[in-house]
Amino acid sequence: MDLIRRHAISVILALSGFGFALADAKGAVLPPEEKPKLCDAECEKELENMPMVTTESGLQYKDIIIGRGPSPPIGFQMAANYVAMVSNGQICDSSLEKGVPYLFRIGSGQVIKGLDEGILSMKAGGKRRLYIPGSLAFPKGLTSAPGRPRVAPNSPVIFDVSLEYIPGLELDEE
């Protein structure tokens, strides 16, 4: 009876989204759920050798893929996928988990300052890792949610972002 009860609790926790290490009916530990990422293990290795760019504001970034399309003009709506992480790499937010790119007007204050600045110099089709200092991140922080770390006010964050498209501006054909 204990084995059945333990399995039922494991299933309930798994379905409710808690990120605990669970055991199957035989007691074997199940692997933690893999969250979708924009930069896989191979990409992470390549990042080590990519040059770091530091802007005047303190934002740092590494281009994973340089896009071929236009850069977003200030005030234009654009679509981007992102994975936001705290400094130890734990994911705190992600458009990939929501299943749709995030649409927002660039340079209008709809996103944190570091994300606006980091995307403005990208080209559509590009992918970049942004190292955002606390002064350009979340001034009020982010509360934690099940399976997500808390982001303290003015803490540095890391964003992997891909600029998917800019409605009204077509990707240049080559």
Cβ atoms within 10 Å, residue 116? 20
Task: Identify the band that residue 56 occupies on the pLDDT scale cut at 50, 70 and 90.
Answer: very high
**Minimum mean pLDDT range among 5-9, 52-56, 66-70, 94-98:** 5-9
| For residue 30, pLDDT beyond 70 | no
Rounded to 5°, angle at Cα 167 from 164 and 173:
70
CA distance linking residue 75 with residue 73, whole number of Å:
6
> Given a cut of 60, is residue 6 above it in pLDDT?
no
pLDDT at 4: 46
- For the cut 50, the answer to whether the pLDDT of residue 12 exceeds it is no
The number of angstroms, rounded, from the C-alpha of 45 to the middle of its chain's C-alpha atoms is 18
* 16, pLDDT greater than 70: no
> Does the structure show a pLDDT above 80 at 55?
yes
pLDDT for the residue numbered 171: 53
Which CB contacts under 8 angstroms, 24+ apart, belong to 27-31? none
- CA-CA distance, 87 to 137, in Å (whole number)? 12
Provide the pLDDT confidence category of residue 1 given band limits of 50, 70 and 90: very low
Per-residue three-class SS string for 67-101: CCCCCCCCCCEEEEEEEEEECCCCEEEEHHHHCCC
Q: Which two tokens stand for residue 140?
A: 């009020």
Q: How confident is the model at residue 28 (pLDDT cuts 50, 70, 90)?
A: very low
Number of Cα atoms under 13 Å in the Cβ half of residue 95: 16
Q: Which amino acid, one-letter code, is at 140?
A: K
Assign 167 to helix, strand or coil: coil
- Percent of the chain's residues with pLDDT above 90: 64
Closest CA to 112 of 136, 82, 76, 93: 136
Distance of alpha carbon 2 from alpha carbon 7, whole angstroms: 9
What is the pLDDT averaged over residues 41-61?
95
**Structure confidence by residue, pLDDT tens digits, 101-134:** 999 999 999 999 999 999 999 999 999 999 999 9
